[in-house]
Amino acid sequence: MRKPEVSAGKNNNKLRKGLWSPEEDDKLMNYMLNSGQGCWSDVARNAGLQRCGKSCRLRWINYLRPDLKRGAFSPQEEELIIHLHSLLGNRWSQIAARLPGRTDNEIKNFWNSTIKKRLKNISSNTSPNASDESSYDPNKDNNNMVGGFITSSTVQDQHHIDNHFMPMFNTSSPPSIQNTVFNTIMSSSNGGFFNNNSTTGTFFSQNNNHDNKSYYLEKMFGSVNINGAEGVEMEIYNVPPLESVNNSTITSENNTIKMENINACNIGEDTNYNISSYNFDDINNIVNNCNVVKRIDQNRAVDEVENLFHGDLTVADWDLEDLMKDVSSFPFLDFSN
DNA sequence: AACGTGGGCAACCGCCAATTT
DNA sequence: GAAATTGGCGGTTGCCCACGT
């Protein structure tokens, strides 16, 4: 911490720097609660603080905000941070956006002071050549195992097994939050479900029979060819949603499936499909019960996906959400606190 | 008790992008 | 359209404190 100090800026009359006093906290807190957030330089002035707006903003965001969660990080939060960092790197604000009540500064400090060290110890114990944490590259595909969780690369590896015969149901007690989705898929009369860790799976059709669900899922999410077997390969995730992102919806209208506000997805050739007849409930169940429905196939061009959204989704956003799919491996997280 | 050391963390710095003037 | 201002972010600093010697 810093000693309270005073700086004499060019245009500022001795703006204070350093530690915030309880009196300053009171002033800022009272002002924010009574008047709400405006221009931060106005906040500083109107609250009667000898601080720059930036300093007020930081103090509010990192310390005074009422919705901040206090105390140590839970093991769940810790594992999520590790996992998110493996996907996002040092994008602390993005990580913080998925940990309610935590700030980027807090997570950054926690990472640098605790996790970094721990991971370094682990890596030096397991690999004599990997003692440097900085050698870790979140963008590399071979970072399969992070914090003990299976990531998509691992999932994909399992598809390389001989799938001449489609693997059938392998239900090892999926988490309750996904039950609806899983049950919907599993109730399909034609297709298989390859479940590798209870929160992701692959849904196959064994042929091009247009009467089965996979055909329609295929129409929605595109088709893949796995060892010669045509089908839909999709993952179902429960990702803590960003506050700013609306829920995904799929609606049926005039025999057209309309997809809106999809957080992250690979979609087929168009967002709207004309289908003569289909029970949309199943598809709606799938989408409404997950935040992300994601096909594994990574080969689709990013700009093609972007075009589907008519510019509503930027390439960067899509890339980010693409990376975010692996957060699904955290079925135990409770974000209600 | 005195000193050194390292961890934890609040807050600053500098940069950049977006917005306003 | 240019300049100024503001907001947001990641990196870094430096103080306090606990702990070991």
pLDDT reported for residue A72: 84
pLDDT higher than 80, residue A167: no
pLDDT higher than 50, residue A246: no
Q: Specify the higher pLDDT residue, A30 or A160.
A: A30
Q: Å from A118 (CA) to C20 (C1')?
A: 21
Which of A10-14, A45-49, A243-247, A303-307 has maximum average pLDDT?
A: A45-49
How much of chain A exceeds pLDDT 70, in percent?
31
Q: How confident is the model at residue A112 (pLDDT cuts 50, 70, 90)?
A: confident
How high is the mean pLDDT of chain A?
50
pLDDT higher than 60, residue A63: yes
Name every residue whose Cβ is closer than 8 Å to that of residue A45 and which is 6 or more positions away in sequence.
none
Report which residue is nearest nucleotide C16 when distances run from CA to C1'. Answer: A1
Structure tokens at A233: 């390969």
Report which residue is nearest nucleotide B10 when distances run from CA to C1'. Answer: A1
What does the alpha-carbon distance between residue A304 and residue A315 come to, in Å, rounded to a whole number?
A: 10
pLDDT reported for residue A55: 92
Report which residue is nearest nucleotide B6 when distances run from CA to C1'. Answer: A113
pLDDT higher than 80, residue A47: yes
Best CA proximity match to A272, nearest among A310, A225, A245: A310
Contact A103, A96 (CB under 8 A): yes
State the nucleotide closest to A15 in CA–C1' terms. B12
pLDDT higher than 70, residue A15: yes
- The pLDDT of A168-189, averaged and rounded, is 30
Query: Is A216 in a helix, a strand, or coil?
Result: helix
**Alpha-carbon separation of residue A197 from A17, A32, A54, A202, A329 (angstroms):** 51, 45, 45, 11, 8
Residue A3 beta carbon within 7 A of nucleic strand B: no
pLDDT reported for residue A272: 29
Q: What's the pTM? A: 0.51
Q: How confident is the model at residue A267 (pLDDT cuts 50, 70, 90)?
A: very low
- The pLDDT of A36-43, averaged and rounded, is 83
pLDDT higher than 60, residue A20: yes
Say what angle helices A176-186 and A280-288 make with each other, to 10 degrees: 160
pLDDT reported for residue A105: 92
H runs (alpha helix) in chain A: 22-35, 40-46, 53-59, 75-88, 92-96, 104-110, 116-126, 152-158, 176-186, 213-221, 280-288, 302-308, 315-324
Question: What is the residue type of A135?
Answer: S
Question: What is the residue type of A276?
Answer: S
Structure tokens at A47: 């609250």
Residue A105 beta carbon within 7 A of nucleic strand C: yes
